[in-house]
Amino acid sequence: MAFITENFLLETAQAEELYHGYAKEMPIIDYHNHLCAAQMANDHQFKNITEAWLAGDHYKWRAMRTLGIDENYITGDATDEEKFQKWSETVPYTLRNPLYHWTHLELQRYFGIDDLLTGANAKRVFQDTKEQLQEKKNSTIGLLRQLNVEVVCTTNDPIEKLEHHRKASLNGIMPKMLPTFRPDKLYAIEDHDAYKLYLAHLSEVSGIQIKSYHDLIAAAKERMAHFSQNGGCLSDHGLEQLHYFEMKSFDIEVLFKKVIDGHRLQVDEVNYFKFETLIHLCREYHKHGWVQQFHLGALRNTNERKMAQLGPDTGFDSMGDFPQALGLAKFLNLLDSTDQLAKTILYNLNPAYNEVFATMAGNFNDGTVKGKIQFGSGWWFLDQLDGMERQLNALSNMGLLSCFVGMLTDSRSFLSFPRHEYFRRLLCNILGNDIKKGLIPNDMPYLGSLVQDICYTNAKDYFNFNLRPNKIENQQNEKSYNVR
């Protein structure tokens, strides 16, 4: 019997009805991920499951290292089949980690494999999936279409030319692929040598010689316009926390010159530079009508030895415990005070601050847009059952769950989209249990509509992606499932 059954995670008849009758067939809008735009634009065909599944997946890498597997089988020179063998041997030991569920969901949804993955069947699974990945339905676009994905929003540095997004658009590729403006390196002044090199690239692509801070902002605005011309309507930022200062606490042009001249800034000077730059960017986002996203709370690259060996984004980051509330409140208030606060999604990485983020969103919802300020979905270490449930409960208790724009993958893998199913099952299970407890009415048409809003419609309306009409909307869902 398969481990992932039809009613996986669904504990009540009401949860089953909500999931199978309303949530299951809704399209997916994945508004934040790290997919490779070139692979999608070129409809890449993966040579094997290691390339599709293990390359770049630091979630899996961390688990393998914890089990004592040598780095050669993780990011090293071992063959793809050897790497898959070691991952397969790891999987049984990931029990109660979300990797265990994701692994078996993905094998079943994309390849029809119901067996539990182990070292013993790794060779057979490797060969089976290798053959299937050569089929056209399992190209990058095919994988997305299998799960009814309508939009993917990639994460892109301002210096990117977005040629792959243009190619996808000109070729009418569906799902839609849109860029997201991720300007972290615009204000990453801690390493002045790396920063000067980055500014040279930015000058080249923007056509603006950056000799002053004023030039920097002008170049950033030019790149925003370029992103808008290529379908971009979102920005994203990865920060430990949002700082606040009184404007002109430092002379920003003086700070910029000190960096260019090779001087190391003091901590307050670095934080002020980030603060003022973000304020300029956020006002421009508002002008463009973009949605801005802030991923807050990660403590990155903590292992200096491994950072030197392997570089960033290789699995040596963790939750941070940075103070969030005061700086975040004052930062958002500064933008709101001149009515230049764009639609905003706030992602929290430390669950101790869930209620802080949920209530902060309510401070700046002003009645102009449904759910203008969002407490974003469980992120990174929190996109698992407990983390997502805690985020949903905090949002429900402190705000309006009905306005939530739902789940995203935040992934580098084209095989990660069953995470939306994972979220949808959990959401329906929470509501089903509430019905059973008598906490909410047993009104299936109403609750089904709410579930569909959270899974799809709210995001569609919030981001204004100009999607084609979808046949699923406003249809009566047939109940072709078994209710206990």
Residues in the chain with pLDDT values less than 50: 469-484
Residue 177 near residue 40 (C-beta atoms within 8 A): yes
Q: What is the pLDDT of residue 467?
A: 62
Query: Rounded to whole angstroms, what are the CA distances from 115 to 2, 7, 64, 138, 227?
Result: 7, 17, 21, 20, 44
Domain 45-138 has CATH 3.30.230.70: no
Q: Which two tokens stand for residue 271?
A: 């934080």
Instruction: Specify the DSSP element, H or E, that contains 206.
Output: helix 192-206
> Residue 106: CB partners within 8 Å, gap ≥ 6?
53, 415, 416, 418
* CATH hierarchy code of domain 13-44+140-463: 3.20.20.140
- Beta-strand runs (E) in 114-229: 149-156, 176-181
Going from N- to C-terminal start, the domains of the chain cover: 13-44+140-463, 45-138
Please name which of 206, 167, 152 lies closest in space to residue 183, comparing C-alpha atoms. Answer: 206
Q: What is the pLDDT of residue 273?
A: 98
For residues 456 and 438, give the distance between their C-alpha atoms in angstroms, rounded to a whole number: 27
Q: What is the pLDDT of residue 466?
A: 72
Q: What is the pLDDT of residue 2?
A: 83
For residues 127 and 80, give the distance between their C-alpha atoms in angstroms, rounded to a whole number: 11
Residue 22 near residue 473 (C-beta atoms within 8 A): no
Put simply, whether the predicted model's pTM sits higher than 0.85 gets the answer yes
